[in-house]
Structure 1
């Protein structure tokens, strides 16, 4: 999955965001699909610098770039903008649920952001200010559950990968190739490689 670059032009300078703690989810509250470029025009007409969301997810699952990711958005008021990334999904989730493809794209995008920013709180617009956004039919708890499950799967996979590395360390130590335990993920310096080679020669010569 990829992010579709939109090349939107903004009015005036955009202030860089110095901290990122949250992802705030919105809906566009439109009766159907809408593009980031269209929302950008709406927000420009309101006197804003441009689209307030950092990302917009179309109904076919396309993830479109909105406001640059590293700047402060304009999507959740003074209490929400300064430390958050705003993601909007096209549609009105007071009436319908987001499409399956939108949900898949949202989970993918959140996972990508977490990889780059670390653990992030995932909330709806209504958790910041008095609004119904992202709509009563938006499955926020389902999104949180999927992210949590994926994190568990990643941790479990990492654990299984690490176990075979430790097995190699133990076997190498038993055979005399190394003399002490080592961190399996540590980069081996030249002296370590040479030490292993010398130990191998000693074993070959029976010394």
Structure 2
């Protein structure tokens, strides 16, 4: 999906009242926008947060707003129904459509990286499997815009550090190709 199409989709979501949770932070689809189940989570993140953990869902990719909304619901269903969590585990999900999908958001502790890292980090997960292929440019740009917004709004420290999921837990996530990319981002730091 082209950047123009992603922006048009975001504008349509905003017009329908389903769009950006933070309108000037780029295309963030609210929980209402992707028809999330109500969260049962209550543990708050202490802000500003210093760490961001980037992962992949290792599931199906999505390339349109409709397919990404469905995939976000699928991830939430798995986390709540199968794993027994209070909500989708990630703070934000990134679709190949170039949109960000609000998970637990900036203020709630996630369930993405274990007991040590969850209370001190924001979890961002790209929807798809990125072992042998990289996410498209618009997905990478959406994640970078989200991070810049988080730092500008004080959710993240100005000197926040990006970690790959495999840097903080024994896992293949975020996939070899995505891991190669995030290691080039200016805020990436190996543990």
Q: State the distance in 1 between where 2:39 and 2:45 align.
A: 17
Deviation track 1:103-149 (CA, whole Å, cap 9, x = no partner) reads 1111111111111232211111111111111011111123x13x69x
Matched with 2:31 is: 6
Higher helix share: 1
List structure 1 segments (4+ residues) > 3 angstroms apart after TM superposition: 9-13
- Alpha-carbon shift at residue 85 of structure 1 (Å): 0.5
Q: For 1:119-198, list aligned pairs within 5 A.
A: 119-138=159-178, 139-142=181-184, 144-145=185-186
Asked if the contact 2:90–2:104 (Cα under 8 Å) also holds between the matched residues in 1, the reply is yes
Structure 1: unaligned runs, 5 residues or longer: 149-207
Q: For 1:71-90, list aligned pairs within 5 A.
A: 71-90=108-127
- Alpha-carbon shift at residue 10 of structure 1 (Å): 4.0
Matched with 2:44 is: 16
Task: Provide the alpha-carbon RMSD of the alignment.
Answer: 1.7
Q: State the distance in 1 between where 2:41 and 2:141 align.
A: 33
TM-score (norm 2): 0.71
How many equivalent pairs are there? Answer: 146
Q: Which has the higher contact order (CA 8 A, sep 6+)?
A: 2
Q: For 1:76-115, list aligned pairs within 5 A.
A: 76-115=113-152
Higher strand share: 2
Structure showing greater radius of gyration is 1
Structure 2: unaligned runs, 5 residues or longer: 1-25, 63-67
Asked if the contact 1:6–1:37 (Cα under 8 Å) also holds between the matched residues in 2, the reply is no
TM-score (norm 1): 0.66
